[in-house]
Structure 1
Amino acid sequence: MPLLKNGLVAADHWIAIEDEAPLPEGRPVLVSHARWLAERNTLAARKAPLGIRLPNSLDVLAFGPEAGRFDLIVLEFPKFSDGRAYSQARLLRERFGYRGELRATGQVLRDQLRLMHRCGFDAYEFDRPDAARIFAGALQDFSAAYQPATDGTATALELRLRRLRKPEAAE
């Protein structure tokens, strides 16, 4: 599955491991939340990077204090109309200070990419081989934002209010 980072197709060095499969030594692995709960001590003792895949139904408020243990957190968009992963991303970034890679997977659509980015995602998995062409420039499609997000971009309302408060040039 193509991976987009910084607007470019990137190599994915993470190995997604099924819950029953053995863990490769010294390689970055991506495990399910269920496996993390079942094997927390063993996984925490690994000397290689560890990533976790969280279902969008997970209460991130309960998980959040553990977020810093992971180099990668993958959040799922099972349907384009299910936006719970946006809230999960914002909570992980804003409330829990997560600074690792935050990846969106599942129904990741071009017209939602900018909001995903603004909510804290910095990598995106696509199920289309032509993702680089389709998603090129998606983060620059719009010059204004209507809702606040983690990226600090001023909203259209904030920009409008600044313009109104700006003192007129002396004549």
Structure 2
Amino acid sequence: MKLIKNGNFVEQDFVAVGADDALPDGAVIVPLERWETERDSLVTRNTPIGVKLESGQHPERIRDDLDHLSVVALDFPIYRNGRAYSYARLLRDRYGYEGEVRAVGNVLQDQFYFMVRCGFDALEVQDKITPEVFEQSVGAFTYAYQAAADDRPTVMSLRQRLAARAGEARAAQ
């Protein structure tokens, strides 16, 4: 797997571990259940820590711990399950999380644009994905119809700006 972070291909900086795996030195991503049972000892490790939320695990469960987490990894178990999009928006917009929100699991090329718009800043992608494929995917749409975590102007706001300029031009004549 490759990691795209803020649009750049980078080395994996975290090791994902299971519920019973030994913790390696360095940055780790642990399952939510492990975080909930070992929180105090994980915080005192003095290494970056991340939590992986499975599709049915709401980010409300880690809301009060976000200041301890460097990464929240959101799982896409199958392409039809989009709960992680909602979770990314909640983390960014409602909970004010500024750390890394990472898409893991079944991360598909045709979803890159939407993932970035919803607040994902890191994507674990298949080895066949190249920088060119990523750029083409996130640049596939020129205009956005809905507001999202990326603060990109929507078509409606662009139309309103154009109408205001036209009104100003008419008034100036």
Q: TM-score surpassing 0.5? A: yes
Match of 1:29 in 2: 28
Q: Distance in 1 between matches of 2:155 and 2:146?
A: 8
Partner in structure 1 of residue 57 of structure 2: 58
Partner SS state of residue 151, structure 2 = coil
Is 1:56–1:88's contact at 8 Å kept on the other side of the alignment? no
Percent sequence identity over aligned pairs? 39
Deviation at 1:75, TM superposition (A): 0.3
Say if 1:129 and 1:62 are closer, same or farther in 2 by CA, change over 3 A. Answer: closer
Q: Which residue of 1 aligns with 2:79?
A: 80
Q: Which amino acid in 2 is paired with 1:12?
A: Q
Paired amino acid for 1:105: V
- TM-score scaled to structure 1, two decimals? 0.91
TM-score, structure 2 normalization: 0.90
Where structure 1 has 5 or more consecutive residues not aligned to the other structure, the ranges are none
**Cα offset, 1:63, TM superposition:** 2.5
Aligned residue type for 2:24: P
Measure the CA separation in 2 of the matches of 1:164 and 1:62. Answer: 45
Q: Which has the higher contact order (CA 8 A, sep 6+)?
A: 1
Q: Which runs of 4+ in 1 moved over 6 A?
A: none
Indicate the residue corresponding to 1:12 in structure 2. 12
CA distance in 2, matches of 1:86, 1:147: 14
- Which structure carries more helix by proportion? 2
Which aligned pairs between 1:87-166 and structure 2 lie closer than 5 A? 87-126=86-125, 128-132=126-130, 133-166=132-165
User: What RMSD over aligned residues (CA atoms) do the two structures have, in Å?
Assistant: 1.5
How far residue 10 of structure 1 moved from its aligned partner, in angstroms, is 1.1
128-137 vs 110-119, which deviates more?
A: 128-137
- Structure 1 counterpart of 2:83, which letter? R
1:62-87 deviations in Å (ceiling 9; x for gaps):
42222221001100111112111011
Q: Please give the alpha-carbon distance, in whole angstroms, between the structure 2 residues aligned to 1:84 and 1:91.
A: 11
Aligned residues: 169
Amino acid paired to 2:163: L
Question: Residue type of the partner of 2:161?
Answer: R
